[in-house]
Every structure is written in structure tokens, then in C-alpha cells.
Structure 1
Amino acid sequence: MASNKKAKVASVVTAMGLLFSSTALFAQESANSDLDSCVRQKQVITTVKGSVVGALAGVAGGLFGGNNKKDAVTGAAIGAVVGGIAGFATAYYTAIDSCYKENPSWIPESNLQRTKDYNKVKRETHYKPKQGVLLRVESVKVAQPVKAGDFAEVDSAFIVMTPDGAEIPVTIERKLFVVDDKGEQTEVPFPGHATSEQHTFEPGEQQDTVRIPIPHDAKPGSLYSMRFSVAAGDKPPVDMTQQFAVTQ
């Protein structure tokens, strides 16, 4: 009797894993065929893991809750669906981040450049040396339109000023979030870049440009949020957040 129960539960877990495997196979087609293949393979593994973990949680709830075998099988099915859907939200960015780490040459070009010198920013901000280190995020802009299967190009501008015009180490932090229908945010790996990086800059304005890949199967209206922050000296981090949606 117990063996039959285990066999039925195992069948449900396997079936749900296959369901999400077939769904994930149609996700993200990249212009780079090697990257595309890598992402699809890793996304399948991530999604199946989520569905299996969810299924096992459902089984545990049914068996250890004192319910009958029908409830256990039903719980497994519901758990698999919940686990699969929850995992699918981050499967793409987890997969592409892994592929980028294994193949750095696939990472899309980024750019970090000085856009205004010390004297120009000093005039524009009326900066005085007695202010000490001045740090401010000026803007975070996302080029439009943002298309599924393409890249979202994000330009983040910030200023850093020092009393004597000397160079200063600045810590840059970028975070990416997926926003659901309820407005709740789920952080996903920032593709191709470390979450936190330190650079030494001459005082003035700097612009950071990164390209964020968008899943091929992202639906119009899919919402993302990019948070950019900088910190220097003994100043607390300053940040700015910009949301953007898939338009086509």
C-alpha cells in the first residue's frame, strides 16, 4: 500500500517536472546561438528544481498532515505548480548570469566614462570645498523601446566632488528587480556584472551604461526595476531607482 502511494507521488513529481521543462525550452532565444543554448539548458534545470521542490513540499503537507493519499497527490500537484511558477520568475536571469560567468566574452559591452569635468560641475552645483565630499546620483534613464529578446540600455549619471580635486574611490552598486502584478519586487542576479564594484574617479560627473538582456518570452507590460547607488568616503550610499516595462 505504501509502495503504491510512493509510486503515484513520484509519477506526479516527474510529470510536473516534464511540464515545466517543455515550457522552459521555448524561453529566451538570443542572437548568439551559443548563449541561447546555454541559457535554455540552465533555465530548464533551474525551473525543474523549483517545480520538484514545490512538489515535495506538497507531498510532505499531505502525508504528514494526516491526510489520505488522494490529498497527498493533490498537494504534490499544487506544490509543483507553485514552485515552478515562483522559480520561473528568476530562472532566466539566474541562467544568463551563470552563462556569462562561464563565458565572459558573451557579456554585452558596458561603458563608464567621465562626462563633465571638475570645474563644470563646480559651477553647475555651486560646490564649495567646505562641503567635503559631495556625492549624488543625477539620473537613471532607460532607452526606449524595450523589446522582448533584446537589451534594455540603462544610463546612470552621478557626480562626485572632493575639496582638493583629488581622485577618490567610489563603490557602484547595481540591482535588478522583477515587479509582479501586485507591485512586489523580486531581486534577480544582475547579468554580466558584479552587484558591487569599486572604481577610482576624478571629480566631476560620470556616466555608467549597461545593457540588460530581456527574455524572449517577456510579455508586453512586463515590469522591471533598476536601482543604481554610489558610495564614497564616509558618506552613506545615495541611490536612484527607475522602472521600465517591455513595450513590444
Structure 2
Amino acid sequence: MRGLILAVMTCVYSVGALAQESAYADLDACTKDEQIRLTAKGAAIGLVTGLGGALFSGKKDKALKAAAIGAAAGGVAGFATAYYTAIDNCNKKNPQWITESSLVRDPSKSYQQVKKEHGYQAREGIKVHLNDVKVPASVQPGERFAIDTIFDVMTPTDAETEVVFQRKLFVTTDGKEAEMPFPSASSATRVVEAGRSKETIQLPTPPDAAKGTTYRIEISAAAGGKPPTMLSRSVNVI
């Protein structure tokens, strides 16, 4: 019986993983098309003379590169802006492609230990505390990386409660930082058990991201109608 349950769980996990990979593939294909459209629209026609021929020949990678070069020369916001705007547009057209963040209970500390660590008293009401936001120090162009948000939730009755997450993405190139559309749900409300939990989301980087580009992620969490707490972390492209 135990073997059967394990087999079923493995099957469910495999199906879920395949569905996620399929959604990634569909999103990537849509993003490429949308990015070509955005960069070509923003650039002067004379600066992307190679774009028409590349599209006519069906070579999207070549067309994307030509559009990106034209966009940069034409003075539009840049390749990263087009990339994340393209993802945002594709997600709006196909909301089923948005990958849901995973949320798990962190077993490293019991709820009683969490309350003791914060000196929590029931009279404080509902309270959420961001402990850490973990990201890798560096990524390769085109790589997806995990953002792990570790947080504590405390409530007067030890009951679960709603936590509102806000996520922002900033990209720095040539010393200039610009905010980008967050390539997943920029805002999410999750029902969370009292105690320590970890939320994980995946963030993509542009395949043509330049070395030295910095991606800064801001994560905030709020509960019980109180002001949010926020943490910021950065990742460098190498």
C-alpha cells in the first residue's frame, strides 16, 4: 500500500513538473514574439533594416537580435524593459501560464519557538515578520533563479491568517536603475499558518542579459491591516 501511495505521489509530481515546463515553454515562445514586436515598434525603422528579412525567413532569434540592436540604437528604454514587458503582456493574455509560488511550512522552528524568538504577546494582534529573502549571488543570462522568502506569522489565537505579498523588480545597467514589470504575480494574498514558512518563486533573466547587469528584488509582506515589512536583495549577471 505504501508503495502504491508513493507511486501515485511520484506520478502527480511528474505531471505537475511537466505542466510547469510546458507553461514555461509556451511563455518563452510568446515572450520572444512579443519582444520582437515591442523592440521593433520602439526603434526607428531605418535602424532595424535586417528585421524584415529575418522575420520573412522565419528566423526569430535573428529577428529578435536585430530588433534589440535597433531598439538600443533608437534610444528606447532597452532590451530588459522589452523582455519583462513582453512577459507581462503574455501573462495578461494567458493567465494560466503564471506559475504559482510554492508555500511550505519551515520545520526549523516550532511555533512556540517563533513566538519566543520575537517575544510575541497576544495583545500585539496579527503580526508578520520577514526573516530573510534568499537569492543566488550570481546568474547566467537566460537562467531562472529561485527567490526564497522566509517569514514568521503570529496571531492571538494561533490561527492561520492572510498575508499580502508585494514584489518588485529593478534592473541596473550602466549605473542606471529602472523598475520592470515583475514577471509573475506582483501581488499575492496567501492564507498562511501561524509559525515559520517559506515562499519560493522563480524569476527568469533575459537570454541576452549583459554581464554586470544587476537585478534587485524587493519583497514586502503585510498582515492584519498593519504596514508592510520589506527586504531587498540583488543578483548579478556573470
Alpha carbons of structure 1 residues 35 and 172: separation in structure 2 relative to 1, 3 Å: closer
Task: Within 5 Å, give how 1:4-83 maps onto structure 2.
Answer: 34-52=26-44, 81-83=73-75
Q: Distance in 1 between matches of 2:133 and 2:31?
A: 28
- Please point out which of 158, 165, 174 is paired with 1:172: 165
1:80 is displaced (CA, Å) by 8.4
Alpha carbons 2:137, 2:234 under 8 Å: kept: no
1:234 is displaced (CA, Å) by 2.8
Q: Distance in 2 between matches of 1:188 and 1:167?
A: 33
Partner of 2:215: 224
Whether 1:121 and 2:114 are equivalent positions in the alignment is yes
Alpha carbons 2:102, 2:200 under 8 Å: kept: yes
Q: Distance in 2 between matches of 1:100 and 1:87?
A: 20
Alignment-mate amino acid for residue 228 of structure 1: I
Alpha carbons of structure 1 residues 108 and 145: separation in structure 2 relative to 1, 3 Å: farther
TM-score, normalised relative to structure 1: 0.67
User: What SS does structure 2 have at the residue aligned with 1:42?
Assistant: helix
Alpha carbons of structure 1 residues 35 and 233: separation in structure 2 relative to 1, 3 Å: closer
Alpha carbons 1:139, 1:156 under 8 Å: kept: yes
Partner of 1:63: none
Q: Distance in 2 between matches of 1:155 and 1:224?
A: 15
1:181 is displaced (CA, Å) by 2.4
Alpha carbons 2:136, 2:235 under 8 Å: kept: no
Whether 1:192 and 2:177 are equivalent positions in the alignment is no
Aligned residues: 192
Q: Distance in 2 between matches of 1:134 and 1:121?
A: 12
Alpha carbons 2:72, 2:79 under 8 Å: kept: no
Q: Distance in 2 between matches of 1:150 and 1:39?
A: 15
Whether 1:243 and 2:230 are equivalent positions in the alignment is no
1:88 is displaced (CA, Å) by 2.7
Map Cα deviations across residues 161-185 of structure 1 (whole Å, 9 max, x no partner).
1122122221111111111322x42
Alignment-mate amino acid for residue 186 of structure 1: A
Task: Within 5 Å, give how 1:93-104 maps onto structure 2.
Answer: 93-104=84-95
Give aligned-pair identity as a percent. Answer: 43
| Alignment RMSD | 2.9
Q: Distance in 2 between matches of 1:48 and 1:179?
A: 23
1:34 is displaced (CA, Å) by 4.3
Alignment-mate amino acid for residue 125 of structure 1: H
Alignment-mate amino acid for residue 148 of structure 1: P
- Please point out which of 197, 217, 236 is paired with 1:206: 197
Alignment-mate amino acid for residue 177 of structure 2: Q
- Please point out which of 141, 144, 155 is paired with 2:148: 155
Alpha carbons of structure 1 residues 232 and 36: separation in structure 2 relative to 1, 3 Å: closer
User: Could you list the runs of 5+ residues in structure 2 that have no partner in the other structure?
Assistant: 1-22, 48-70
Alpha carbons 1:47, 1:91 under 8 Å: kept: yes
TM-score, normalised relative to structure 2: 0.70
Alpha carbons of structure 1 residues 177 and 239: separation in structure 2 relative to 1, 3 Å: same
Q: Distance in 1 between matches of 2:149 and 2:88?
A: 21
Bigger radius of gyration: 1
Alignment-mate amino acid for residue 147 of structure 1: Q
Alpha carbons 1:50, 1:87 under 8 Å: kept: no
- Please point out which of 68, 74, 88 is paired with 2:79: 88
Alpha carbons 1:109, 1:211 under 8 Å: kept: no
